[in-house]
Amino acid sequence: MAMVGLFWISEESVYVGAEPAGAASGVRLSRDGVAAPGIGEGRFWTWDEVVRIETHDVAVRSGARRLAAMAFDAALVAVTGDGVLPPAFCVDVVTAEETVRADVFAAVAGGIYLSSEYELSTTLLQRLADGTADIADLLAWGRDHAAEGTPPREEREALLRKWAGA
C-alpha cells in the first residue's frame, strides 16, 4: 500500500484516508463509483450521481510545522506510553439528493498532511467528481507501484499534479 496525498492506494483499491478496518466508516473510490462502507449497511453512488467530494477537518501544516508536530506527538507517546489512533477527518459525498458524511482516519504518518499535497488532493477529488479526471489512473498506478510503498514527497506531488491535470 502507498499513501499519495489524501489517498491510500493498494493494488486493488483507492481510499480517501486510510483503508477502513472492521465496521469503521471509509470512502472507497472505484471504476464504478464511490462507496462508503460502514455507513449504515454501506452506501454506494455511481460517478454519474456524485456532484462533489469534499473534505473537512483535515490536519494540514507546512513541512516544518508538520515535523515539529510529529516530534511532539512522538515525545508525548514516549513519556506517557499512550499511543493514539491517527486523527480522523470527514469526507462528504454530495449528490443531487443528499450529502453523506463519512469519518475516515488519516493515512499519512503522524496524521498531518502537507499543504501542497492537500490542495492537489482536493483538486483531484473535485475533478474525479465532475468527470474531468479518471480513477483508472490511480488504480493503474496502484497495480504497478503500491507494493513499493509510499513514494518520496516530490514524486507524490508530481503524481497528484498529473492525475488532477494541474
Burial class (CB in 10 A: 0-12, 13-18, 19+), 152: exposed
Q: What is the largest CA-CA distance in the chain?
A: 50
Q: 38 with 25: CB under 8 angstroms?
A: yes
46, pLDDT greater than 90: yes
Rounded distance between C-alpha atoms, residue 158 and residue 117, angstroms: 10
Question: Residue range 157-166: average pLDDT?
Answer: 94
Higher pLDDT, 102 or 79: 102
Cα 81 from chain centroid?
28
pTM: 0.84
What is the distance between the alpha carbons of residues 91 and 97, in angstroms, rounded to a whole number? Answer: 17
30-44, 60-74, 126-140, range with the lowest pLDDT: 60-74
Alpha carbons 153 and 155: distance in angstroms, whole number: 5
pLDDT score of 97: 97
Please say if the pLDDT value at position 101 is more than 50.
yes
